[in-house]
A and B are shown apart, each in its own frame.
Chain A
């Protein structure tokens, strides 16, 4: 089934995204990895929409894109503030959330 290929691609993208979030030190790179994860989810939604012959998946994908845009906006603003305070965006040096 050809739609299965979409799922494979989406799984690969997801894995790359997860790797990026866990392994990268640069906050911007982490944000980009999150985008990868979200887009893999979009791809999944579209693929299932095709398989089920339903428009719902497309609608959800559009919503996810909008939410992702907002999330990246907030994330980049935070990164900018962190850079201004510390002159660095390396996540290694950040441990303010330690409980």
Chain B
């Protein structure tokens, strides 16, 4: 296939949108930033410990973000009516923060479709999570600091999202890293928690080096740090060396690997679950970890051009391959976790892999939309996990020990979980289906065949591990804490529930900490839902059965569950809705090569499209340059790679592509996983029963299992292979150098110093300096004696001297000036 010529797809007037909210969007991160200091300074004196400040600031940010969203949509619709396309300029404002000639570094805002979508997302989820937290961490000893850190995190993320230049982006990026560290280590009394916090911080720092290097390279290549200019220059091909641009993209992508938990730096993310659940929900699933994906999406021309994405014949590129590897390895790891939060953590890693894969194959819209939908359903899943641990399972997250059979008593949590799980698995008409399917479809359509196969397998694995987790959590026999909660005797597996069963379980272990958890649960335990887990003896039925979590927990969950369905309909190719795509397409920074898409779109979907869409199709068809050969007609949508300076338009959705093989595989693996779960965990007799205990009977299967349990030995590799093998010899070598070379130098210097000191004393000090000192002393003494008579003590003589000297001075002055 020959390389297609570079072209601009949409040649229309570039519009502008305006409005108060759009122009003042910079206030959105400023409000939480101010609130952060407010909480730190006054939080402890406020009646609700500063949480009201945090929530108020998030609501204010949400209102501003919603206003900006409204004005953006409105302005875009007006522009569409006037000019017939969706090309609008971003709303940019900035001030010069500091300058170092000839470069100016600003702070400000860069508002476009991408920024708007994420602003709204982050503000919305932050608000919900803060409301949830008021209940979840109630009574915590560092309640105020918890809210301060959450608020600062939101400020950092919002600042990064609307960054007009790389400096502000790095600023927000690092603030998030810091807050992540603070919040993972929120209960730092447990050593495991503080180690997890350190691990997260250092692992991400490894990637951050790439961000600094990449930014410096961007400055070197383009001479500016302004994101809009960088994108325009990269998209126009105005750089000296393609090779340099490639390495810049690689350096920046290393930062994304660290931040977004991509292979091989994904190991920090599951450990980060040591933090409180709201933190996992907000930072480590829905917002912060997508920062890496956001960076790629934001600087897409740099990556697209630098890595030759979508160039004809390309089968692999760095971003897509890393994404694909991440999808598979994380999904496999999710099968062997007993901790519900770790399952969700690996699932997050895997879904982040999908986003990267999407960006890597040119499906910009699909990837960004997956950020959007994933945030809702994954945040919801985490909040449900927190709800279970808070209400049902004694602050435990262990699915095998403390859960099971609780679905009857927690209808809201259970319903939300199921909806979000369906969304995550990509069941049709849930939000995840629309976004994930577009990524998978694009991988196939843009001819990244191997990666497409990987992504389909990943989708099937997702369904399987979520089936396992769902079965263990909600169905089967209640065990441990859940049995206690359900009011039944629990002895089925003969497991004794111990608080210290999992020392790395933050909330669990937290029950030991004096002075907060107990009190909190006592106060609400007695009156609202009879939750009295620390006093009732284990194994005895409770006198009255508790129900679902309190409203502060269920309300955010419900809202998110609704969005886990609803958000998908913003961009549902299956229904002919391309709304989200149109809102954000001007953010790609590269012209979209629509090729022959619209001719076909009209043919295939005319029945499903509303009038507006049909109008759009016709207009864009008229505007298209028509460089490409039109399709043969019918289903044969021929794909031509657009080359490095344009992205291909998303493929046309067909149910045939979605069902075979993607959805079929999902359904099959769902069935297999269900049977296996019932056989293995439920002890039921069914066709899958013969696989029970396979890992113990079969060596190979056991080996694979322990390989997975040990997380591919990656942690061991890093610990033993890198920390020990590299750091220890370095430490040893450093010690040797220290002992032999540095000490030798120090000793030699010392000896030399002493010798030269002796010489100095003998000749210079005694001979020269002393003589000089004595001489000057003698001279002063003699001079004093000679001048003594002048000091007669007679005032008149003093006056005469004074005036005489003044007269001499005056005479000198006159002579010199003459």
Contact with A along B794-813 (1 / 0, CB 8 A): 11101110010000000000
The answer to whether B792 and A22 touch across the interface, beta carbons within 8 angstroms, is no
**Does chain A have a CB within 8 A of B791?**
yes
Of residues 509 to 554 in B, which have CB atoms within 8 Å of A's CB atoms?
none
Of residues 1 to 23 in A, which have CB atoms within 8 Å of B's CB atoms?
18, 21-23
Tell which of A24, A94, A97 has the most Cβ of chain B within 10 Å. Answer: A97
Chain B residues with CB under 8 Å of chain A are: 788, 791-796, 798-800, 803
Closest to A92 in B: B794
Closest to B787 in A: A99
**Does chain B have a CB within 8 A of A67?**
no
Name the B residues within 8 Å of A91 (CB-CB).
Answer: 794-796
Identify 17 new A-B residue pairs, CB closer than 8 A, beyond the known A97-B795, A99-B788: A18-B799, A21-B796, A21-B799, A21-B803, A22-B796, A22-B803, A24-B796, A30-B799, A91-B794, A91-B795, A91-B796, A92-B794, A94-B794, A97-B793, A97-B798, A98-B792, A98-B793
A61 to B792, CA, bound (A): 34
Closest to A18 in B: B803
Contact with B along A71-99 (1 / 0, CB 8 A): 00000000000000000000110111111
- What is the CB-to-nearest-CB distance from B779 to chain A, in angstroms, rounded to a whole number? 19
- Sorted nearest first, the 7 A-B pairs with minimum C-beta distance are A98-B793, A95-B793, A99-B791, A21-B799, A97-B793, A22-B800, A18-B803
Name the A residues within 8 Å of B798 (CB-CB).
Answer: 97
Name the B residues within 8 Å of A97 (CB-CB).
Answer: 791, 793, 795, 798
Name the A residues within 8 Å of B793 (CB-CB).
Answer: 94-99
- What is the CB-to-nearest-CB distance from B795 to chain A, in angstroms, rounded to a whole number? 5
The answer to whether A95 and B803 touch across the interface, beta carbons within 8 angstroms, is no
Number of inter-chain CB pairs below 8 Å: 37
The answer to whether A22 and B799 touch across the interface, beta carbons within 8 angstroms, is yes
Closest to B788 in A: A99
Known: A18-B803, A21-B803, A22-B803. A95 touches B796 (CB 8 A): no
Closest to B791 in A: A99
- What is the CB-to-nearest-CB distance from B783 to chain A, in angstroms, rounded to a whole number? 14
Name the B residues within 8 Å of A98 (CB-CB).
Answer: 791-793
- What is the CB-to-nearest-CB distance from B50 to chain A, in angstroms, rounded to a whole number? 60
Closest to A98 in B: B793
- What is the CB-to-nearest-CB distance from A14 to chain B, in angstroms, rounded to a whole number? 10
A30 to B802, CA, bound (A): 14
Name the A residues within 8 Å of B792 (CB-CB).
Answer: 95, 98
Name the B residues within 8 Å of A21 (CB-CB).
Answer: 796, 799, 803
A25 to B795, CA, bound (A): 9
Name the B residues within 8 Å of A27 (CB-CB).
Answer: 795
A98 to B800, CA, bound (A): 16
- What is the CB-to-nearest-CB distance from A6 to chain B, in angstroms, rounded to a whole number? 19
Name the B residues within 8 Å of A99 (CB-CB).
Answer: 788, 791, 793
Name the B residues within 8 Å of A22 (CB-CB).
Answer: 796, 799-800, 803
20 A-B residue contacts at CB 8 Å?
A18-B803, A21-B799, A21-B803, A22-B796, A23-B796, A24-B796, A27-B795, A30-B796, A91-B795, A91-B796, A94-B793, A94-B795, A95-B793, A95-B794, A97-B791, A97-B793, A97-B795, A98-B792, A98-B793, A99-B791
A97 to B798, CA, bound (A): 10
Closest to A14 in B: B803
- What is the CB-to-nearest-CB distance from A53 to chain B, in angstroms, rounded to a whole number? 23
- What is the CB-to-nearest-CB distance from B792 to chain A, in angstroms, rounded to a whole number? 6
A97 to B790, CA, bound (A): 11
- What is the CB-to-nearest-CB distance from B599 to chain A, in angstroms, rounded to a whole number? 91
Closest to B807 in A: A18
Name the B residues within 8 Å of A96 (CB-CB).
Answer: 793
Closest to A33 in B: B799
Tell which of B788, B792, B795, B800 has the most Cβ of chain A within 10 Å. Answer: B795
Name the B residues within 8 Å of A24 (CB-CB).
Answer: 796
- What is the CB-to-nearest-CB distance from A20 to chain B, in angstroms, rounded to a whole number? 9
A23 to B793, CA, bound (A): 15
